[in-house]
């Protein structure tokens, strides 16, 4: 890839951001399609100063990750309606006309989650249990509601779980009552099972037979213990790299107006994780 005076600027804002797989994914897509663009990780010392820098330096598109997904909303010219409902932005689009700059924030996390699940199960009219009540759970939950699913929420901290359930207008299921739950799919939106604590589980594995599909947003390791236990019980599984890939594909299309090269982006993510093939 040649970087020159016409190279379009993209990147990701986060803290920390060194571990992000997004640069590998997006730069591979740019190279494959011949887009003269570069995507870089950025860790601003101050969010407001960093955002002003993006506006003045000519950035086209930026991903936003923790801890800035909520705080960035105060600086934007516009936020799309779904991102406003979710209460978080993970994607910025800068549109320029002469010296004028307009930045719109959106959220592609829900699009990535819905697309990943839809590969094995159309969420419309289905019942889905969401484990967790953090930012990822909000995006996944609101996305499922948008897709016409019936959502159930469970969470270790009951107060946070009930708060999210109220916002989604859906039932909250206490941990003690999970044995009575039957649903079409289960989605783990927590970090339980992420390296280095790979033996951890967000739910009693004996309850996994109550679900046809089990999806985990954790992607390190790619096959979490939750997914192994689910597969052993006959469930169809969806790994966390799918959501990361598809939310990135939605960003790519928004920024470039072109269809994202899914296979190229998937392989770039696998390579970044040190996985040569599946």
Record the tokens describing residue 267, joined without a space: 């392989």
Query: Exposed, middle or buried: residue 142 (CB in 10 Å: 0-12, 13-18, 19+)?
Result: buried
Q: Tell me the pLDDT tens digit for each residue of 99-138.
A: 899 999 999 999 999 999 999 999 999 999 999 999 899 9
pLDDT given at position 107: 97
Mean pLDDT of 56-63: 97
Confidence tier at 2 by pLDDT (50, 70, 90): confident
DSSP structure string for 92-156? EEEEEETTEEEEEEE--HHHHHHHHHHTT---TT-EEEEE--SHHHHHHHHHHHHTT-EEEEE-S
Residue 76 contacts residue 94 (beta carbons within 8 Å): no
H or E stretch covering 94? strand 91-97
Query: What whole-number distance in Å separates Cα of residue 187 and Cα of residue 144?
Result: 11
Confidence tier at 278 by pLDDT (50, 70, 90): low
H or E stretch covering 237? strand 236-238
Tell whether the model's pLDDT for residue 275 goes beyond 90. no
Find all residues with CB under 8 Å of 78, minimum gap 6, and list them.
102, 103, 104, 105
Q: Note if the bond before 221 is cis, omega within 30 degrees.
A: yes
Query: What whole-number distance in Å separates Cα of residue 61 and Cα of residue 42?
Result: 13
Q: What are phi and psi of 103, to 5 degrees?
A: -115, 125
Q: Give the Å distances, CA to CA, from 195 to 97, 218, 223.
A: 45, 9, 11
Selected catalytic residue, list 69, 85, 160, 242: 69
Q: What is the largest CA-CA distance in the chain?
A: 61
Q: Tell me the pLDDT tens digit for each residue of 208-252.
A: 999 999 999 999 999 999 999 999 999 999 999 999 999 999 999
Q: Tell me the pLDDT tens digit for each residue of 137-191.
A: 999 999 999 999 999 999 999 999 999 999 999 999 999 999 999 999 999 999 9
Residue 76, classed as helix, strand or coil, is coil
What is the 8-class DSSP label of residue 7?
Answer: P
Domains of the chain, start order: 8-107+245-272 (3.40.50.10860), 110-238 (3.40.50.720)
**Active-site annotation holds for 69:** yes
Question: What number of other Cβ atoms are within 10 A of residue 81's Cβ?
Answer: 8
pTM for this structure? 0.93
């Amino acid at each position: 890839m040649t970087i020159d005076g016409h190279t379009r600027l993209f990147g990701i804002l986060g803290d920390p951001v060194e571990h992000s797989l997004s640069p590998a994914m997006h730069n591979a897509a740019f190279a494959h399609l011949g887009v003269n663009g570069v995507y870089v990780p950025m860790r601003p010392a101050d969010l407001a100063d960093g955002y002003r820098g993006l506006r003045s330096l000519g950035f086209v598109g930026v991903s936003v990750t923790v801890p800035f997904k909520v705080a960035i909303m105060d600086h934007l010219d516009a936020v799309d309606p779904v991102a406003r409902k979710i209460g978080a932005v993970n994607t910025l689009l800068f549109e320029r006309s002469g010296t004028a700059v307009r930045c719109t924030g959106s959220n592609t996390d829900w699009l990535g989650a819905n697309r990943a699940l839809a590969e094995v199960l159309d969420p419309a009219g289905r019942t889905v249990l969401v484990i967790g009540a953090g930012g990822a759970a909000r995006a996944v939950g609101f996305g499922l509601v948008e897709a016409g699913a019936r959502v159930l929420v469970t969470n270790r901290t009951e107060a946070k779980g009930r708060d999210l359930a109220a916002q989604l207008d859906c039932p909250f299921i206490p941990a003690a009552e999970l044995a009575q739950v039957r649903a079409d799919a289960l989605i783990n939106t927590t970090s339980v099972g992420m390296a280095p604590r790979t033996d951890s589980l967000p739910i009693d594995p004996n309850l996994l037979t109550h679900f046809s599909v089990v999806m985990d947003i954790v992607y390190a390791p790619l096959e979490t213990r939750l997914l192994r236990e689910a597969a052993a019980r006959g469930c169809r599984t969806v790994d966390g790299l799918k959501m990361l890939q598809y939310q990135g594909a939605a960003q790519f299309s928004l920024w470039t107006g072109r269809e994202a090269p899914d296979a190229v982006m998937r392989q770039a993510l696998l390579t970044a994780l040190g996985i040569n093939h599946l």
